[in-house]
Amino acid sequence: MRLNLKVRMPSSPPFPVQRHRLPARSWLRSLLLLSVIVPGIASAEPRPENMVYLRTIDPTIEQDIRYASAHNFTGHSLDGYAAAECMLSLDTAQALARVQQALQKQGYGLKVFDCYRPSRAVADMGRFATEPGDPRKAEFYPRVDKQDFWRLGYVARVSNHSRGSTVDLTLTGPKALPAATWSPSAVQVDCTAPYAQRWHDGALDMGTGYDCFDERAHTANPAINATAKENRQHLSSAMEKEGFSGYSKEWWHFTFGGEGAPKNVMDFPITPLSANEVLGTSRQLIVVTTKNWDDIQGIAQRYERVEGSFRKVGDEFAVVVGKNGMAWGKGLGNIEPNEGPVKREGDGKAPAGIFKLGTAFGYDTTADTKLPYLSLTSTTECVDDSESQRYNELVDGAAIAKDWNSSEQMRKEAGYRKGIFIEHNTPASPGSGSCIFFHIWRGPASPTLGCTAMDQGDISRLFEWLDPRESPVLVQMPEGEYEQWRERWKLPLR
């Protein structure tokens, strides 16, 4: 990270934890005074033209944007992170793409944890450091008092991240342990624990986890093992060749020093990509269509991007959707439909729109898939109570205090023997619908309560084919609406 006020957490499922804030301390008054001096801290502004989504420049760079989820040192998603997307200045993004290209030739790659950070998020970090409570201390700063973040150099008053030229990232490679699927009930393990024991972020051993407020995270710390030292040096060398400089107290933190690097801090929020941006960066596409809004049966087809256009992969296959058909859902691309039903909790309709595909899940302990995988237990629940702070979350009901009256018991549904999250209504808006999946059907004439179901063989093929590095998306809607949007979104002919 480096919290440079650093008034420095949707695979999947990345549902932000709701939280209640206490009144700010006197430190915030200093921040408000600072905002008079430093342009852009006090108020939001439109996104400058030179700020781009990294995935539109290089979609092969993996993303795990921690501050858009609760898996970070504060334990909550930060203000200004309305989407789990890396944004950077154009020059910075292009330089990072060159680093990725060089690493890929060596069999390695990059994964980013944070990029542009709105100054309101920096202020949010500052508030956290002055308020009671340490929800993620055991993982991220077990030996540090959070009031000492600034004195120890882990936090700064103004963040270079807010200038769009700083990234937090790590190195991936063939010897990396597979990424684990995080949920708020995950056991906290000290970020300095041995590689096999601490959180599995899908990266190589770098000596500590990301955002670890500890001397072992200092770039040149001599206490880390030889493998971690070599990996840090490999990452630093690759970054420095393209004009990035590191930070001595955080091995993951790099700032681009090129001529085009922005100078002013910014406060525009990170929002989802437009439909064209989403589809333009995807290299795997699943299209599901029905005859009309009320039909329960549909057809699905897989596509891969080849030389700039989508080509069919395999044969089409049958699916069933909600018992009451489809309705416009809350997905990617900020779609504003002019007509048609709108998805609501409990309406028995499958969501229509463009959706990211997230975590795979099932009864088996492991699965043959590149997607993050969650093995369901007898206490795994998906919360569908709109009044709950866990609404639209998959949780371990035995590990957390319940504030819901309604949920799906995942192991009690035979169709969930194999499934994939369809990230509808993420982050969750109360009443807009929850717990939407691909899963195994009861039969070709048996609709669902809002999911999209199919034969076990077809979902097994999706397990094997889908790759999060290819930015897979689902486009799902009636045939008439698909034709209406197809040309505008550059979708393939059905």
Q: Would you say 141 and 214 are in contact if contact means Cβ atoms under 8 Å apart? A: yes
Q: Is 85 a catalytic residue?
A: no
Q: Report the residue count for the chain.
A: 494
What is the rounded CA–CA span in Å between residue 54 and residue 209? 23
| Nearest Cα to Cα of residue 327 among 351, 304, 305 | 351
Angle between the 90-105 and 226-240 helix axes, to the nearest 10 degrees?
130
Pairing of β 109-114 and β 62-63: parallel
Q: Which residues pair with 326 in a beta bridge?
A: 350
115 and 68 Cβ atoms separated by less than 8 Å: no
∠ CA 171-175-177 to the nearest 5 degrees?
85
Per-residue CA distances from 207 to 113, 189, 214, 490 (Å): 16, 14, 11, 44
**Choice among 85, 250, 393, 481 that is catalytic:** 250
CA angle 71, 331, 411 (to 5 degrees): 65
465 vs 345: CA distance, rounded Å:
31
Torsion, Cα 184 185 190 193, to 10 degrees, reads -110
Q: How many other CB atoms are found less than 10 A from the CB of residue 490? A: 13
Closest CA to 282 of 466, 469, 471, 468: 471
CA distance 293 to 478: 6
Cα(319)–Cα(337) distance, integer angstroms: 24
Contacting residues for 170 by C-beta, under 8 A, at least 6 apart: 110, 111, 113, 201, 203, 204, 206, 210, 235, 252
CA distance to 13, 392, 424, per residue, from 428 (Å): 11, 6, 8
State the pairing for strand pair 297-306/350-362.
unpaired
For residues 95 and 52, what is the distance between their CA atoms, to the nearest angstrom?
13
Query: CA 307 to CA 267: how far, in whole Å?
Result: 37
3-state secondary structure of 330: coil
Torsion angle of C-alpha atoms 350, 352, 358, 364, degrees rounded to 10: 30
Active site residue ranges: 250
